[in-house]
Chain A
Amino acid sequence: MARNPHQAARLRRGIVLYAVVGLLLFVWAFPIFWAVVVSLKSETEVLAYPPNIIFEPTVRNYRDALVGGFSILPSFATSFIISGLTTVLTIMLAVPCAYAFARLRLRGKKALGFYTLVTQMVPPVGLVIPYFLILNRVGWLDTYQGMVVVYLTFSLPFAIWLMVSYMEDIPCEMEEAAFLDKANRFQALWHVVLPQVRGGIAVTVIFVFLNAWNEFLFAVQLGGNDVRPVTVAMYNFVSVEQTLWAKLSAAALIAMLPMIIIGFAAQRQIVKGLTVGAVKGGGRR
């Protein structure tokens, strides 16, 4: 009985806690929830005032976004090609480089690592201006090869540093055992190191693909009619069709579907990738 006021205070605190946390949860979930709701409305329903919560849902917008006149599928394919190529190239380049940075002795390694880190900080607008002039001269504007080259500028330094932090975590003993078995360095890297950093490679693939898929500045300026990723297609849609919000919502949700699936499926890996530098803290960067 004597503990009752204490318990009441604790209960009150608990209620306040859940209320605050619930409110914040609502704020963050709502815009996406609302986009889903709007995508299921008809265009006239969207413009009803006050907004309706109860309505007859329709999948027409999704059908239009997929097979209608504004079909998003060609852009979808474009995004897939660019992001896929960027990811493959980035991984092929970054993984060996990260292994050397993390594990091998190399003169000037520190300076090279710092250089890699600094390239990551270059603001994209500082690259889109020279790239426009250069690609224009070479005739690579609105081409896949042009886009992939440009996307390497932000994906490669990022991937190298992410992979370095995974490489640092694996123990040296197994490599040394492999050397004793007369494996050469390349065999050791391929058969011993790579299998141990599969998880890290998966996280890197996810991040590189995601960043390439969501990129906009380079895409809108260096792409064009032939190479138009989904982000640009979405932007053009609103510029042309100011009021077709339901169609926009449906198309945008389809465009973002691969990312949303990755987000749900690889949620754990993404959080790990985000925190890999932060939690280790000290690090040597």
Chain B
Amino acid sequence: MRSAAFRGEGNFAALLVAPSLIVLVVTTTFPLIYLFWSSFQNINLAMPFLDGFAGLDNYRRMMADGNFWHSIGLTAIYTISTVVLQVVIGLGLALLVMRIPAGQWLFRIVAILPIVLAPVVVGLFFRTLMFAPEFGILDFVVRWAGFGPVNWLGSPTPALVSVIIIHTWQWTPFAFLVLLASLAALPPDVYEAARIDRANALQRFWHITLPLIRPALVIVIIMRAMIALSAFAAIFAATGGGPGTATEILNLYAYRTSFVTLDFGYGSALAVALLVITLIVSGMLFYMRTARTT
């Protein structure tokens, strides 16, 4: 009797799950298998007569490719700096806003705007209205403050700084809103107890607040790291990966190799590399999440 009911439940569950899983297998897993396959092929739309099985050639080429290692380095810089900036500024701002008795709504409203804008639009706004030489407002302010004209998007280091600023501007509100919500959900009595124990503000933050919001903090770090690793539209719109390859993170390098150089075989291998890196990083971060701090 009971097992019959269970079987009924299992069948019903399978019926509900099947359509989604079939769609997922067809739309994501199948293309990924195709990606792996094409990473072992020569597929060059510019030179189709060379197409054919390439074995490990694309991967061997990758190991010897200076541009690949350069893009890996940029990916690391971009991901780590944007995640750290988002979390530090977002948490700092959330802690400050928590202490404001009135006007929190204003921050929530302002914070929602960057999040709902398309990254490509944000990239275009910053490229023109903010960073453009002379007429961009940031360039104007920097010159007015006496730091001379900076070719924001036209020279390598400022361009990298610029795309990091753009990403940080757009996504810090995400960290801010999530952390503000988790701070607001903390029970006030632990603070009372700590205050009676004469803990100062820093001690209270370090020993009480931080451990309590650690789960939320780790989730934010995981989500932001995943997004930063495959950031595309804002960089593409602001610099296109340039000047030269100064802002060409691995994601853009794989894209350009495929769709500009039309070398789909090598582009696939680069995309596989990004996929592997993404899975390793997320695995590490998830491990961090479950590991206990003592």
- Interface of B, helix, strand, loop or mixed by DSSP: helix
Query: Within the complex, which residue of A30, A231, A259 is in contact with B116, where a contact is CB–CB below 8 Å?
Result: A259
Contacts A104-B12, A282-B215 hold; do A238 and B121 have CB atoms under 8 A apart? no
Instruction: Decide yes or no whether A77 CB sits under 8 A from chain B.
Output: no
Which residues of the partner chain A approach B237 to less than 8 Å between Cβ atoms? 216, 235, 238
Q: Which of A128, A129, A150 contacts B27 (CB 8 A)?
A: A150
Stretch from A57-65, A66-74, A114-122, A196-204 that touches the partner: A114-122
Contact B271 A97 (CB under 8 A): no
Of B6, B20, B21, B181, most buried by chain A (CB within 10 Å of CB) is: B20
Q: Which of B110-135 touch A at CB < 8 Å? A: 110-122, 124-130, 134-135
Q: A100-B13, A133-B264, A274-B178 are in contact. Are A25 and B108 (CB under 8 A)?
A: no
Contacting residues, chain A, for B115 (C-beta < 8 A): 263, 270, 274
Stretch at the interface among B57-65, B77-85, B149-157, B226-234: B226-234
Q: Is the CB of A31 within 8 A of B119?
A: no
Asked if B278 and A123 sit within 8 Å, CB to CB, the answer is yes
Q: Which chain A residues numbered 34 to 58 have a C-beta less than 8 Å away from chain B?
A: 34-35, 38, 46-47, 49-51
Contact status A123-B251, CB under 8 Å: yes
**Any A CB within 8 A of the CB of B191:** no
Say yes or no: A278-B216 contact (C-beta < 8 A), given A216-B120, A260-B113: yes
Which residues in B have their C-beta under 8 angstroms from that of A112?
A: 17, 21
Q: Are the CB atoms of A32 and B16 closer together than 8 Å?
A: no
Residue B125 contacts which of A31, A124, A274 (CB distance < 8 angstroms)? A31
Q: Is B160 an interface residue (CB 8 A)?
A: no
Which A227-252 residues have a C-beta within 8 angstroms of B?
Answer: 230-231, 234-235, 238, 245, 248-249, 252
Q: Pick from B100, B113, B226, B258 the residue with the most CB of A within 10 Å.
A: B113
B24 part of interface (Cβ distance < 8 Å): yes
If A121-B279, A216-B232 touch, whether A47 touches B126 (CB-CB below 8 Å) is no
Question: On chain A, which size bracket covers the interface?
Answer: 35 or more
CB contacts (< 8 Å) of B282 on chain A: these are 121
8 Å CB contact of B219 from A106, A185, A248, A277: A277
Taken residue by residue from 1 to 42, chain B's Cβ proximity to chain A (1 for < 8 Å, 0 otherwise) reads as 000001011101110110111011001110110110010000
Q: Are B27 and A97 touching (Cβ within 8 A)?
A: no
Shortest 4 CB-CB contacts between residues of A and residues of B: A281-B215, A214-B118, A97-B20, A123-B230
Chain A: residues with CB nearer than 8 A to chain B? 17-18, 20-21, 24-25, 27-32, 34-35, 38, 46-47, 49-51, 93-94, 96-97, 99-101, 104-107, 109, 112, 115-116, 118-119, 121-134, 149-150, 152-153, 156-157, 160, 185-186, 189, 210, 213-217, 221, 230-231, 234-235, 238, 245, 248-249, 252, 255-256, 259-260, 262-264, 267, 270-271, 274-275, 277-279, 281-282
Known: A96-B19, A189-B16. 20 other contacts (CB 8 A): A25-B110, A32-B117, A94-B20, A96-B16, A104-B10, A104-B12, A123-B271, A123-B275, A124-B230, A126-B32, A129-B38, A132-B264, A133-B38, A231-B120, A234-B118, A235-B236, A267-B109, A271-B177, A271-B178, A281-B216
